[in-house]
Structure 1
Amino acid sequence: MSRTPSAFAAEEERRVLSIRPVLAPVHRKYGSHPHQVYDLWPAEDPEAPLVMLLHGGYWRYDRMHLTPFAAHLAQQGFTTILPGFRRSGGAGGYPATFDDIALAVDTIPEGRPFVLAGHCSGGHLALWAGARALLPESSPWYTTRLPTAVLGLAPITDLAATIRDDLSDGAGLQLLGGADQVEARLPLVDPLTLLRGKGTTGVRTVVLNGAVDEEVPLGQFTDYLAVHTDAEHVLLPGTGHYTLIEPGSPASRSVVETLGRLSSGG
């Protein structure tokens, strides 16, 4: 789908994506593949709530653009994990990207309660990870050990619509391995499809998005919320796509407040 962003959206994208990356104080591996690594920003309080962030970029791009926001969350009192994973167009796509997310979510927190958050395509991966108990028990990704809560930040929720709308030049087809693979693979990795007929993942879920997001069609949010009957919606008026992950922005303050509520069970 060709997209001509407004001046507002173009400036927001340029401003946020040009923020200088922040080097994490801790860098570790969670698996043997070179992409199975993660950055860690510990909060000052060793008992601080734990947040895992999954980055966007339509499953293709690396995590560096999210490092300023990860560092910001640590300053706000959250011990923050930012994992890498195999990505489309390289070593990833189906099934490797999902193998890595499942491994990261299952192992890095070491049994501690945590909130799983993701932005854009990272939001898709977060919502999928929170829905793994809805998978067939024969799936290697099936588990009942799930995050405490999931926060989707302007998330991709519907891979069929992503493919239909040709978002980001075929990103959905690239993730699934081509048009001939969609029918078999999409039901296993699409949050909306997993929820149909179920109504809930059993995990507390919040979708937070800006009302003037021009990057992800708003139907991605509303259609998901219509199916996930106990999910919460936080809608930010006058807010676009990228400012959600801009440290110190009004939108980021809403993200921090929501993470605080989810971490405390409030």
Structure 2
Amino acid sequence: MRSREISAFAAEEEKRVLSLRPVLAPQHSSYGDHPHQVYDAWPADDPDAPLVILLHGGYWRYDRMHLTPFAAYLSRQGFSVLLPGFRRSGGEGGYPETFDDITRIVDTLPEGRPYVLAGHCSGGHLALWCAARGLLPQDSPWYSAQLPPAVLALAPLTDLDATRRDGLSEGAALQLLGGETRFEARLPLVDPLTLLKDAGSTGVRTVLLHGEVDEEVPLSQFADYAAVHRDLETVVLPGTGHYTLIEPGAPAAEAVADTLRRLSGERGAVRPPAEDEPEETGQP
């Protein structure tokens, strides 16, 4: 997922987290007819438990399986969790299919329930883009005035132009938008930073959480986005890299769960698991 040299610390973190055994969800369903238009669900026993829709990363190319351990972890913290798949770059996705699927996910899967939209890395980009759909031209098929109640972006890619400039993941941003000849025309419709520059806010409660020593997404992306989003909340975790945010049980993952509790509101529906509660296991 990277195209540059990283430190031994970052390499070990990436290997440790991405080699975790996938966890099977207790429920699976679909939101469309395409094989990628599916989702995994970890429903809470409490019908009033906060709902989290979790968008996976992987530079818009990779599937959701690496995020299943983290989704299962959040379910043990008292959340109902939906982990959707979507059409991806390099296959039958990219522009516009990936964005078509993301809009269908957020427009249909919550079924009227309050929720927090969370995403990691490129999933963070998609979550921030969802928050900015009200800033799109009203004749865009992706425009909507019905926005997520709250967004938590974890180490997100916020700037597709910088992602292209820095050659992240061997041209992932170019692949997403269909190559150099289409990039500039499509960028304003799908880039969170570009959409924000004039408006200054999406109007959606948004928290951007990242690790201080993230070597996967340049820290300038976080700073540049924060500079134009006037009511953004930023949380920086010292000594934390890119992948530890989604490592079940790590202090960074606990901080993510705490932030989700806060964003979900003071409804008293989320509790940490009791010490004697068994943890979920699954087979890949």
Amino acid at match of 2:249: G
Rounded Cα–Cα distance in structure 1 between residues aligned with 2:28 and 2:255: 28
Q: TM-score, normalised by structure 2?
A: 0.92
Q: Which runs of 5+ in 2 are unaligned?
A: 268-284
2:16 is matched with: 15
2:271 is matched with: none
Amino acid at match of 1:185: R
Secondary structure of 1:91 counterpart: coil
Secondary structure of 1:188 counterpart: helix
2:281 is matched with: none
Amino acid at match of 1:15: R
1:3-47 CA-partner distances (Å, limit 9, x unpaired): 111111011000000110000001001111111110000122111
How far did residue 226 of structure 1 move? 0.5
1:215 is matched with: 216
Amino acid at match of 2:51: L
2:67 equivalent to 1:85: no
Secondary structure of 1:197 counterpart: helix
Q: Which runs of 5+ in 1 are unaligned?
A: none
Q: CA RMSD, aligned part only?
A: 1.0
Rounded Cα–Cα distance in structure 1 between residues aligned with 2:3 and 2:106: 34
2:247 is matched with: 246
1:122-146 CA-partner distances (Å, limit 9, x unpaired): 0000000111000000000000111
Rounded Cα–Cα distance in structure 1 between residues aligned with 2:32 and 2:223: 36
2:229 equivalent to 1:228: yes
Secondary structure of 2:199 counterpart: coil
**Mapping for residues 100-179 of structure 1, pairs under 5 Å:** 100-179=101-180
Amino acid at match of 2:216: E
How far did residue 229 of structure 1 move? 0.7
Amino acid at match of 1:136: P
1:195-230 CA-partner distances (Å, limit 9, x unpaired): 011010000000000000000000110100111110
Rounded Cα–Cα distance in structure 1 between residues aligned with 2:198 and 2:189: 15
Rounded Cα–Cα distance in structure 2 between residues aligned with 1:54 and 1:108: 13
Amino acid at match of 1:196: K
Rounded Cα–Cα distance in structure 2 between residues aligned with 1:38 and 1:166: 30
Rounded Cα–Cα distance in structure 2 between residues aligned with 1:32 and 1:210: 37
Secondary structure of 2:207 counterpart: strand
Rounded Cα–Cα distance in structure 2 between residues aligned with 1:44 and 1:245: 23
Secondary structure of 2:227 counterpart: helix
Q: How many residues align?
A: 266
1:232-266 CA-partner distances (Å, limit 9, x unpaired): 00000000000000000000011001000100069
1:65 is matched with: 66
Rounded Cα–Cα distance in structure 2 between residues aligned with 1:25 and 1:145: 29
Amino acid at match of 1:3: R
2:280 is matched with: none
Amino acid at match of 2:168: L
Q: TM-score, normalised by structure 1?
A: 0.98
